[in-house]
A = this chain, B = another copy of it.
């Protein structure tokens, strides 16, 4: 009867999950039970579980238990004309958006630079959460100059989409500029809102919206559950007519 180290345990249980032997949503035995089953200490089990949670295969919930996690694996197109709702609905997913916070703040330096306005000028800061089929997948923090969109926060609070607000202000045809992508660890608050393990990485997408003339009209940073989303870059359908 062999003993196991934590990495072997991780792979063993991980395979049971990916092979479907452990179904999605199923509850795993408790740490004590697993440590008895595999003849290892409880902390070795915990190390393995923790690694699997980092991979997005498990959801560990204090006081409740450990569960196999469903992983929808969403494909999200980014490009010049990305829209949250149309993007998800094209895959047959329901797209929803909760408003988390809307306030007016003085523009931080980075935001002011992106929007080409004076640092400290008042901007709407709106935080919202996107969900696909009910599962939280993204957090968005956006900044829009009060001078340009006086009612931005109020409209967002009424559930009006960003695209629609742009349209009402005569910008039906905005495009993305300066999209950058990187990964980092979320803070505890972000992890909570995304309903994910705090050590699990998120992908951050920073972008600036501009009107057709190239003038910046909005800046935002969206944060995505790294294991739930796969980005597809878009530059490509327009086969260059040289």
Interface residue A80 (Cβ < 8 Å from any Cβ of B) = yes
- Would A180 and B235 be within 8 Å (CB), given that A55-B185, A185-B54, A199-B51 are in contact? no
Q: Which of A42-97 contact B (CB under 8 A)?
A: 51, 54-55, 75, 78-80
Instruction: Mark A199-216 against chain B: 1 for CB-CB distance below 8 A, else 0.
Output: 101010000000010100
User: Which B residue sits closest to A213, measured CB to CB?
Assistant: B239
Interface centre among A80, A181, A234 (most CB of B within 10 A): A181
Q: Which residues of B contact A54 (CB under 8 A)?
A: 185, 199
Interface residue A230 (Cβ < 8 Å from any Cβ of B) = yes
Interface residue A1 (Cβ < 8 Å from any Cβ of B) = no
Q: How far is the CB of A80 from chain B (nearest CB, A)?
A: 5
Number of copies: 2
C-alpha spacing A177/B239, complex, angstroms: 10
Interface residue A227 (Cβ < 8 Å from any Cβ of B) = yes
Cβ contact within 8 Å between A234 and B235: yes
Cβ contact within 8 Å between B182 and A230: yes
Cβ contact within 8 Å between A227 and B184: yes
Q: A227 is contacted by which of B75, B183, B230 (Cβ under 8 Å)? A: B183
* Chain A contacts to B: CB under 8 angstroms: 51, 54-55, 75, 78-80, 175-185, 199, 201, 203, 212, 214, 226-227, 229-236, 239-240, 242
